[in-house]
């Protein structure tokens, strides 16, 4: 199971990093997958998704990372040391500094595969004066089916431990308000996180976020977005046929 999950993660990561998709370049972004045994695979720091292999990922103890998040703060040196301490196999490379929020996605949101990208299309908006605001309204049904009725939105926060503390609160607040876990997190001036129940779903969310961003930018050239009403969004989100389609995407 552990090695099978790793192979799925490698394939997912390479697909996400295809150059023509414009989702990540160089060492940008990171991916992870739950092993189902209180450990998870996470991209090693500095590894590139486009050329990743078995040596590009590190297996990390989930509870160890979650316990670290209970502390008020960690400085840069402590973070580097503890990420190495979190390794299941000490021969693995140092995990990504974003290991903390990947652990939150698994434990708090129940995600099985997580994809974090710095998509050019999405960051056109997240790095603008508008920030994530255009994503708070839906423009077409597939955005709702694939990415959920609402995304989680975070302002720019120093990546790593500080960001993850805010990430944890945002996920919990979202679940309390909507009664479900989010499928997408938008981090202003940073990027997007897709939370999937499968590798296929995590990829689908990432690709739909890319399409959604491109459509939003296009609408501003033609008078601005024509958002669906909240009633229409609720209807799509709860329709039985759309629920069926969503379940197929999650597999």
Kindly indicate the confidence band of residue 245, based on its pLDDT and cuts at 50, 70 and 90: confident
Interval 27-33 mean pLDDT: 94
Sheet with 39-43: list strands edge to edge. 57-61, 39-43, 30-34, 113-117, 191-196, 184-187, 152-154
Interval 104-131 mean pLDDT: 97
Predicted TM-score (pTM) of the model is 0.95
**CATH number assigned to the domain comprising residue 237:** 3.40.225.10
Is residue 251 over pLDDT 80? no
Query: Containing domain of residue 152, as a range?
Result: 2-250
DSSP classification of residue 131: T
Interval 168-177 mean pLDDT: 97
Kindly indicate the confidence band of residue 196, based on its pLDDT and cuts at 50, 70 and 90: very high
Count of structural domains, the chain? 1
Q: What is the pLDDT of residue 120?
A: 96
Average predicted confidence (pLDDT) for the chain: 95
């Amino acid at each position: 199971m552990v090695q099978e999950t790793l192979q799925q993660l490698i394939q997912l990561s390479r697909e996400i990093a295809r150059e023509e998709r414009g989702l990540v370049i160089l060492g940008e972004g990171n991916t992870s997958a739950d092993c189902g045994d209180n450990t998870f695979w996470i991209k090693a720091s500095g590894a590139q998704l486009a050329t990743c292999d078995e040596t590009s990922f590190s297996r990390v103890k989930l509870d160890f990372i979650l316990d670290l998040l209970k502390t008020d703060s960690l400085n840069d040196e402590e973070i580097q040391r503890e990420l190495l301490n979190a390794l299941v196999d000490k021969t693995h490379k140092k995990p990504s500094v974003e290991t903390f929020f990947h652990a939150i996605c698994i434990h708090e949101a129940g995600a099985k595969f997580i994809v974090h990208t710095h998509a050019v299309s999405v960051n056109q908006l997240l790095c603008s004066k508008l920030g994530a605001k255009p994503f708070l309204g839906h423009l077409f049904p597939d955005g709702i089916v694939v990415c959920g009725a609402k995304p989680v939105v975070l302002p720019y926060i120093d990546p790593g431990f500080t960001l993850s503390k805010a990430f944890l609160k945002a996920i919990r607040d979202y679940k309390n308000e909507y009664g479900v876990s989010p499928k997408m997190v938008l981090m202003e001036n940073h990027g997007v996180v897709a939370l999937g129940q499968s590798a296929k779903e995590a990829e689908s969310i990432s690709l739909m976020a890319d399409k959604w961003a491109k459509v939003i930018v296009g609408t501003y050239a033609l008078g601005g977005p024509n958002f669906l009403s909240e009633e229409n969004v609720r209807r799509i989100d709860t329709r039985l046929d759309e629920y069926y389609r969503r379940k197929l995407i999650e597999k």
